[in-house]
Structure formats: C-alpha cells, structure tokens
Chains A and B, each alone.
Chain A
Amino acid sequence: MNGLTTRFERGLDAPICLTWELTYACNLACVHCLSSSGRRDPRELTTAQCEAVLDELQRMQVFYVNIGGGEPTVRRDFWHLLDYATERGVGVKFSTNGSRIDPDAAARLVSTEYVDVQISLDGATAEVNDRVRGPGSHETALTAMRNLSDAGFRDFKLSVVVTRENVDQLDRFKELADEHGAQLRLTRLRPSGRGAYVWDELHPTADQQRELYEWLILHGETVLTGDSFFHLSAFGEPLPGLNLCGAGRVVCLIDPVGDVYACPFAIHDEFLAGNVLRDGGFERVWAGSELFRELREPQSAGACGSCGLYDACRGGCMAAKFFTGLPLEGPDPECVLGNAEEALRQRPGPGPRPSPDHSRPRILNGSPAASLRV
C-alpha cells in the first residue's frame, strides 16, 4: 500500500467524487435501484437550497459532482441547476435513463461546457435489459444515445451494472459505446436499496467474476469502472483506479432531502452522517461528522487480517457486506477466494432492508424479485 492510499484513507478536505441524488422520483422502477427510487420525497431540497449546496461545493473546490436520482431530469429546475453548477466551475456528470434526452436536450447538452452524460443500460439486448429496467427502457436508452451521438456529443458514458445475465455481453456493450462515440463504464451490482432483493440471483457467479476481471485487465483504462471492482484486484495485478473503499474519505452521497451518506451504495440509517440543512451545511458534515471521523481511522481487517491478499482487495466493499448481512470486518460477499461463501450460506435471513425506501407502492406490495422472473 503506498503513501497516497494511506492519505486517502484518512480523508481529504473535500470529496473527490461526490454523488448527489437530486430526486427520488423516477419514471422507471429498476429492480436493483440503489436508492430505492420511485416517488418524489415531499421534503426534497428546493431550488434555493440546491443552489446553496452548489455554492458550498464551489467554495470547497469540488471539481465535479455526479448527479443522479431517481431520474434527475424530471426535476423542473434540472436544467437551471446544471447551468448554475457549471457557471461556478462545478462540473456535472449526470446519470439518466435517457427518457428526456430528445434531440433538443442533446443539442443543449453538447453546447454546455463541463457537462457529461451517463446513459444507464443493463442489457445489450432489450430482452436482458428490460427484465431489470422495465419494458421499453432499452429502446429509450438507445434513442437517447442516438440523439447525443447525432448532436455531436463525444465521449458520453454508457453505464452498465454488470449482472449474471449481461456479463456475457461485455463485448457487445463495448461495440455499442464505440458505435455511438461513447465510452463504456461498468459498475458492480450492489445489494443496496432494492438491489438487496435481487442480489442473490443477479450478482455474477464466481466464474463470471474471473472472466470480468480478465476482460477489465484486457481493456485497461479504455473502460471506466468508477473504481467499482477493486475487490477483484485480488485475482492478480491491480485494476486501474485507487483500489480502496472511499466511503466518507474521498467519496460521499447527498440524497434528495439533503441527507449525507458515506457513499452512494450506503443509503441506510447506519451510514447517515448528517443533513445539509439541519447540520449547518455540507462542509460541516463532511469535516465534522462522527461517522466520517470513524471511517477515517485505521480500519481493522478482522477475519481478513491473516489473508495475504488483503493489501490487494482491502476487504472489499463496506456496503456489499452490510446489505448481505455480513460483518463489516471480514470478507466481501464476492471475495475471490470464496472466503465469504460459508458465511453467506449461514445467514439467518435477508440482510438489512432499504431505509429510506421511496419505491412506488406496486413494488412494495408485490415481491420485487417476482417482477424480474416473469
């Protein structure tokens, strides 16, 4: 482990990677939604409150913010906030299902400096994608990609959550990105939010993890991962990226009501650091929260302490452990040595469920997993 990693683990003056979910409202109901989105929260930050957060980010020199949701473009002030941020030197990369990226929006985006767009797609084919993201969502995303490409937007991101069902489509995703002048971004399926309900059946198998690692090594920095797969670095040479858990140290999340969580995959009371309205602003939460202070202390490797590969994987993802009901000091549920398999088998029941949960009622009432296997 090098000195820089140690410095990162002790936390920075401001996050490197800040995610801001602008709204819990969403026109889709993806089965693995990290933020259990669906319904707008009536306490959602107002335009003025959002502007105040952006003013703070400018002061803290947060270079860019990853905006998501829900579907962020359904907010009426979305375009205003985009301009407000970029005019202040806070770059924006926003994630969207593409439903509002019509030719006009694409033209507007291509003319705005410091804005990047990330289109979510979880299957190279409609069949694979729509089972996870809902009927018609593949066509919607591809239309948005075509609109961006036709408008001349280069290097937007095609963002894919790698699952058991799409892991054999990686080459096809890459081709899709290339055809549209986009860059492929792959991220890990987390058991967070509604993902808790589908992780068991959708997370890649042990063999698939190995194939994924080899594919990532082969493609190097041409494929982005948001440092998502650092637990796979234990297979051999490290993947590109920081290869550490940045939660509360270099990464955090602001949710639509201003709650600050340790990372985008940890929307749960357990990882709530504070609130930008109640606790005197984002900077005070970032610098002063008890939870973040604890995360910046040296962490115990626990059961992984005797493993020779601990320096490579750093024990994996805190949120993945938490939401699968595993101890935080111990192996990641997808530990490449299989060290979590026994513990996963012996789990007494499901892990912690999303809190808060903004899923629309029809999802809460039925089994979300059933909507996958139709």
Chain B
Amino acid sequence: MGFDSGRAWRLSPQVAIRPEGFGALAYHYGSRRLSFLKSSELRDLVLSIGDHPSAGEAIAAGGIPDGQRERYESALATLADSGMIVAAGRAS
C-alpha cells in the first residue's frame, strides 16, 4: 500500500528516538528494528509528525525545501513500512 501523505501520522509508541550528529537512531522495541534518520530535518519531522493533521503539512511546516519534499515523503513511507510511524487513530 502506498504512503498517504494526506492523512495524519504519529510516531509509534513502541519507538524510541536517540539524537546523533548525523540525525538520529530510531529503535522499534516490538520488531527490534533499528532505523537511521539520516538528517536532523528528518529527525525533527518524525518527532513532530503527530502534531500535524497530515504528513504533507508536517513536511511543509518542517521547512523542507519544495525540491526535497519527495525525498522526505519517501523516507516517511519507508518508516511507515517498518512501523516506526503509524497512521494516527490506528493501533500500533
């Protein structure tokens, strides 16, 4: 299933984020999967995604340049696939 940037997403409650110089590490305690958030923009986006009514608006609010929006959407899609972020209103 494609990633729907028009809907609301939030960080899975099973995920912990640890800031690092390159961005952050994200660890999912359920699947024991580690993901690398490869920029501080992506880290901030993931941490704030639950505050916005849609992923698209979170990206816009994150100061991501227009030319890079697609890249960030695809990064979020990958994180959604691995359960790091979950559709708001759904169980984790």
Residue numbers of A with Cβ under 8 A of B are 3-4, 7, 10, 12-14, 16, 61, 63-64, 89, 91, 93, 113-114, 116
Contacts and interface: CB of A to CB of B under 8 A. Distances in A.
Contact of B32 (A3, A4, A89, A91): A91
B29 A114 contact: yes
Indicate the member of A61, A93, A114 with the most B CB atoms within 10 Å: A61
A63 B21 contact: no
Contact of B16 (A7, A12, A16, A89): A89
B35 to A, nearest CB: 11
B36 A4 contact: yes
Given A63-B34, A64-B27, A91-B29, A7 B22 contact: yes
A114 B14 CA distance: 10
Contacts of A61: 16, 18
B25 interface: yes
Contact of B22 (A3, A16, A89): A3
B7 interface: no
A3 B23 CA distance: 12
Contacts of B69: none
Contact of A16 (B29, B34, B38): B34
A7 B32 contact: no
B21 A13 contact: yes
Contacts of B22: 3-4, 7
Interface string B26-69: 01010010101010000000000000000000000000000000
B13 to A, nearest CB: 12
Contacts of A12: 20-21, 25
16 contacts: A4-B36, A7-B22, A10-B21, A12-B21, A13-B20, A13-B21, A16-B25, A16-B34, A61-B18, A63-B18, A63-B34, A64-B32, A91-B29, A93-B32, A113-B29, A116-B32
Given A12-B21, A16-B34, 20 more contacts: A3-B22, A3-B38, A4-B38, A7-B21, A12-B20, A13-B18, A13-B20, A13-B21, A14-B18, A61-B16, A63-B16, A63-B18, A63-B25, A63-B27, A63-B29, A64-B32, A91-B29, A91-B32, A93-B32, A114-B29
B25 to A, nearest CB: 7
Interface residues of B, number: 13
Nearest to B31: A155
A14 B18 CA distance: 9
B21 to A, nearest CB: 6
A305 B21 CA distance: 28
A13 B17 CA distance: 13
Nearest to B17: A61
A114 B15 CA distance: 12
A362 B34 CA distance: 42
Nearest to A62: B18
